[in-house]
Amino acid sequence: MFFTLLLQVIWILAAFGDEHWTYEGPHGQDHWPASFPECGGSAQSPINIQTSSVTFDSELPALQPHGYDQPGTKLLELHNNGHTVQLSLPPTLYLEGLPQKYVAVQLHLHWGQKGSLMGSEHQINSKAAAAELHIVHYDSDSYDSLSEAAKSPQGLAVLGILIEVGETENPAYEHILSHLHEIRYKVRSPPGQMTSVPPFSVKELLPPVLAQYFRYNGSLTTPPCYQSVLWTVFSQKVQISKEQLEKLQETLFSTEKEPSQSLVQNYRVLQPLNQRTVLASFNQDESSYTTGEMLSLGLGILIGSVCLLLVVYFITKKIQKKKSRNEKSVGFTSAHATVE
Ligand SMILES: *[C@@H]1O[C@H](CO)[C@@H](O)[C@H](O)[C@H]1NC(C)=O
C-alpha cells in the first residue's frame, strides 16, 4: 500500500514536476529558467537574424544532406507530444558540410495561432514566417546518443526552415499534415498513441538552395534549453498552402483528453543575441536582388555598354578622319617639299 502510494507520488512528480512546461500561463516561457536554469543562459535560441549585421564567411560550404532523398522502406513514427508534432527519422539520414558528421533523429514544427501568419521561431530582419520546421541531428562521431550529445557544446545540429504561405499545396509537407487527424491528442511518452507515416523524401521539405544559410551557436528552443545547438537557418523559405497551414493550426490538442486545449502558438519568443556572431554562407549584396532588380540591372549594364561602344566608335572614327586628313596634308607638304 505504502509503496503503491510512493510510486504514484513519484509518477505524479515525474509527470507534473519539473518536467511540466507550456508556452503561456503559470508554466510559460517566462518561468522556464526557474525550473530549467539553462533557459536563462546567454546563448539561447531563437534569435532575430539581422542581415545587415551578419558576417559573410566564404569558407562555409553548401550543406549536404545524405539519405534524405532515399526514403527506405521502414514506416516513420509520428506523434503529438503536447508541444509539437514530431516525426522520428532513421540514422540513415545524416549531414555533411558541418564540423562533424551529424545523424538525424527527428523533425518537428512550430506555428502560430489560428489564422496567424506569424508562427516561426527565428526571424529574419524582424520578420516572422508563418511556421518553422526543425530537423534535429546529433554528432554521432563524438557521442553515443542524442541525450548525451544534447548536453555538450555543438553536440546537436538543427536545420531551421522558415515556412510561408504560397499559392499551391506542398506535397512533401502533406506527407506529415495528412496524418495529423490521427494524432489529435497528446501522448505522454512513446510508444503511445502514434501513427505511422509511409517513408518519403525528407529532402523535399528543404528549400531548393542549400548553399545559402545563416549559422550560429544557440540552444534548444524548448526546456531544458541546452546550449548545444549548431544552428543552420536557411535563407530561402519553403511554401505551403493556406489550407495546409490551417490544418497545422487547427487539428492538434496539447492535452490528452477533455478538457481539450488547442495546440497552437508553440513558438518561443526571440532571445538576445548577446556577444554571438551570426555567419552567412553567402554574400548578401550579391544575392539579395529580386528577379526584377536583376533584369533592370542587366538592362542598365547593356544600355550603358552600347552607349560606351557608340562613343568609342565615334571618337575612333573622328581620330581616324583627322589622322587621314593629317596624313594627306603631310603627304602634300612632303610632296611639296620634294618639289621644292
Ligand atoms: C561556435 O562555438 C565554437 C566553440 O566556441 C566556435 O569555435 C565556433 O566558431 C562558433 N561558431 C559560430 C558560428 O559562431
Q: How far apart are CA 157 and CA 123, in angstroms?
A: 18
Ligand 1 contact, 277 CB (< 6 A)? yes
Q: How far apart are CA 279 and CA 157, in angstroms?
A: 15
Ligand 1 contact, 247 CB (< 6 A)? no
The label of the residue with cell 575612333 reads 316
pLDDT digits (tens, 9 = 90+) for 18-50: 568 999 999 999 999 999 999 999 999 999 999
Q: Which residues are designated catalytic?
A: 83
Question: β-pairing, 195-197 with 131-139?
Answer: unpaired
CATH topology of domain 2-288: Carbonic Anhydrase II (3.10.200)
CA-nearest residue, atom 12 of ligand 1: 216
* Peptide bond preceding 153 in cis form (omega within 30 of 0): no
Write down the pLDDT at residue 6.
42
CA-nearest residue, atom 6 of ligand 1: 217
- Span from the CA of 103 to the centroid of ligand 1 (angstroms): 20
Locate the domains of the chain by residue range.
2-288, 289-340
Ligand 1 contact, 217 CB (< 6 A)? yes
- Span from the CA of 215 to the centroid of ligand 1 (angstroms): 9
- Span from the CA of 218 to the centroid of ligand 1 (angstroms): 10
Write down the pLDDT at residue 319.
72
Question: β-pairing, 229-234 with 156-166?
Answer: parallel
Write down the pLDDT at residue 1.
47
* Positions of the chain with pLDDT under 70: 1-19, 189-193, 285-293, 322-340
- CB neighbours (10 Å) of residue 166? 16
Helix, strand and coil in the chain, % to nearest 5: 30, 20, 45
- Given a contact cutoff of 8 angstroms between Cβ atoms, the answer to whether 235 and 209 are in contact is yes
Write down the pLDDT at residue 326.
58
pTM here is 0.80
